[in-house]
Chain A
Amino acid sequence: MRKNMILCGVGGQGTVLASRLISSAAMARRIPVLSAETIGMAQRGGSVFSHLRMGENLYSPMIARGEADLILGFEPGEAVRLLPFLKPDGQMVVSSRPVMPVTAALSDTGYRAEDMLDYLASRVPRLLVVDAEKALREVGSPKVLNLILLGAALRSGALGLEAEDLKDAVRRLIPEKFHELNFRALDYA
């Protein structure tokens, strides 16, 4: 099995942990993993991404355009930014909730999440939009968008992993007091 995935969002949204959970789950299944992510200044509110590749005989952790089997968009604008990386038949899972840059608040040049989602809908046959506001409210924590998106990706089949693989990864990487909340987010449908 070979799978290429991109997780993208805005610094502070939890893309790195989500990427780590997938890697850990894949490794537990003895699938080789390579990944790369944004670290440094861009983490202060900039656009961030993780590239993650699973499978044998890979050289580079980086993914080329049109090569991603799955894009997990933590933010609609960022999902559009990285859309060129998605395979024509690739799966995209995207959060509906925009994160406005500070510049938008300053100059009234905000953008509409609807425009981004419409654009994605017109180009991505396999698009899954997660109503993030509703999901976070129903799960009961503003901090678990990453697990909610991972859950949606699991059920789309594009992750190539089972729910139990990710739950084991949660047990390995996240403190026990948050397990129950994270499982709830992962199972949220």
Chain B
Amino acid sequence: MHEEFVMGNEAIALGALAAGVSLVCGYPGTPSTEVLETVAKRRGESVYVEWSVNEKTAMELAGGAAYAGARALVTMKQMGLNVASDPLMCLEYIGVKGGLVVLVADDPGPISSQTEQDTRSFAAFSKVPLLDPSSAAEAYEMVQEAFELSEKYQTPVFLRPTTRVSHGYASIRVKDPEEYTVHTPEGFVKDSGRWVIFPRLSFANHRKIEVRNDQLKDIFSAHPLNRIEPEEGTCSGCRKGVAAGGFSYTYVMEAREQLGRLRTLKISTPFPFPEKKAVEFLAGLDEVLCVEELDPYIERELIFVCGKYGLKTRILGKMTGHMPRSGENSRDLVLQAMASFLQISLPAVPEETPPPLPVRPPVLCAGCPHRASFYAVKQAMKGRKTAFCGDIGCYTLGNAMPLDMVDTCLCMGAGLGIAQSLNRLEKDRCCFAFVGDSTFFASALPGVVNAVYNQAEFTLIVLDNSTTAMTGHQPHPGTGKTMMGQVVEKVSIENVLRGIGVTAVETVDPLNHPLAVETVRRVADLPGVKAIVFRSPCVALFRASSRVTVDPAVCVGCKKCIREIGCPALSISEGKAVVDPGQCNGCTLCAQLCPVGAIGGGAHA
């Protein structure tokens, strides 16, 4: 054992390696991404790791490995679980042989997600047991335990950190590589009665699953991580208690230091719910406050337990208005809620009125090629009736003023279907679907096939920056690199499109502004589904060595550069445009649109 200062996600990766995992796969998504990246960095030679094309593929890959008796870990964010839910729902019915841990990171807030869905509720729906860590140290232990549980009960097991657990750092004790469990897979054993899902098998297995989950309720009731604090008898006067799970447990424990003695229940295995532990906790309590994020999951379970066991305890939380229904908890929010629950008054915090603070919405980086792509389409479509259907990735930031080039954004790959429909209903609306290169492979292909076959009419814009930029630059089939370090043949976006039957497929450098505008004008008016691939590498990966500069003697201070493209490197000083050399990447988009030619230099000059 040795001590390391690790992020929660790194702890999970190290725990999986310590458990002898053989195969790790997933699709990037904040806040889950660093788990797989750490495995790739720290793995031994026998561990296979890949960024799969999407979460569904990854889940199937991990399932296959578990069929063969290997320990497998599949990683994703909560949105990715929606994509992977088809194989997972079925895997639960089929079961596994090797341990299969499904790492799903939830995102209260949400900080970088479309929804505040709760994987604990998904666990109850899918019947898959779930472990809910509150810290990096717990996550390290839990992932190892999850493999054991998975093998023992032949079921996938969820490990569900939330953003603050995944991205929090702590110094924890971890195993040395020599101490890692060696787990040698037996290999696939043919048994069609076990591995082929049919209604009759599902019926039989459903019954077994329900029996097993009832057993797990009792087993989890005795689990040391489902704790009542203080122990029985030491809080005899306590009539009120707090139940918490996940990261919120740390807020409760901090508040308890300030507020004094109180019974707490920590729930580390929300599904199957440790009913008997809950009964033990509720005994003698008049009121319980549930402190959790996302769904009122523990709250509902405790209400259920009260009903089932005829207990009179009042259960308070999100559903009674004692805790907020949405958003992230915080130290202060939990302290306030617990103080008012315990009728303790906290010292008043004086209200301050600071000067108005700057609003800082995230923006596309200076020199980002997406800015040039959006601007080219905007210029080409000036005065036309349009719809710009966006997608998930850095390029969602194309919605910001002054670009204002994202009219819709739903989920990965949805822009194609939406563009198809908007044009179907209004034939005079010129529709565009924007999709990034990673998203193209992950989620857009069925949409392209559907559109071509069903005679749709819109322009597909593929924003190809040769990486998965938003989540920190992961490889994908268009990059020609794998997580095992191989250099492989790229999958060509243009060839894929032509193979599907898109006849007009053009590739253009978005930083060549006049050519980009001309291409959009020409291609957008062709019939059917047509595609433009805007290809230019992500500036965060390939920084240009050149910068543009403004000649103040020529600049007339018209601010067109600032009004049109919203580049963070551009500002106005003493009536003239100025370029921040620390941010400029020399893309020259501003120079190309300057009406008086005041901006010079840069990579494309």
> A residues bordering B, Cβ < 8 Å?
10-11, 23-24, 27, 32-37, 39-47, 59-67, 77, 80-81, 83-84, 100-106, 108, 111, 115-116, 119, 123, 142
Contact = CB atoms under 8 A, between A and B. Distances in A.
Given A60-B250, A62-B330, A111 B167 contact: no
Q: In the complex, which range does the number of interface residues on chain B fall in?
A: 35 or more
Contacts of A77: 357-358
B568 A80 contact: no
Nearest to A98: B358
Interface stretch (B66-74, B362-370, B374-382): B362-370
A83 B352 CA distance: 10
B361 A46 contact: yes
A161 B164 CA distance: 26
Q: Which 9 A-B pairs have the closest CB atoms?
A: A60-B250, A64-B331, A40-B112, A59-B253, A44-B362, A40-B30, A59-B250, A35-B169, A105-B571
Contacts of B191: none
B111 A24 contact: no
Contacts, number: 140
B140 interface: no
Contacts of B171: 27, 32-33
Nearest to B3: A27
B394 interface: yes
B359 A44 contact: no
B304 interface: no
Contact of B354 (A37, A44, A83): A83
Contact of B332 (A44, A45, A65, A100): A65
A60 B254 contact: yes
Contacts of B567: 102
Contact of A37 (B167, B335, B363, B470): B167
Contact of A23 (B112, B169, B365): B169
Given A27-B5, A103-B401, A105-B562, A36 B357 contact: no
Contacts of A123: 352
Contacts of B402: 106
A11 B359 contact: no
A140 B593 CA distance: 34
Contacts of A34: 168-170
A148 to B, nearest CB: 15
B563 interface: yes
Contacts of B358: 77, 100-101, 103-104, 111
Interface string B158-176: 0000001001111100000
A115 B362 contact: no
A103 B335 contact: no
Contacts of B360: 10, 45-47, 101, 103
B254 A59 contact: yes
Contact of B251 (A35, A46, A60, A119): A60
Contacts of B31: 39-40
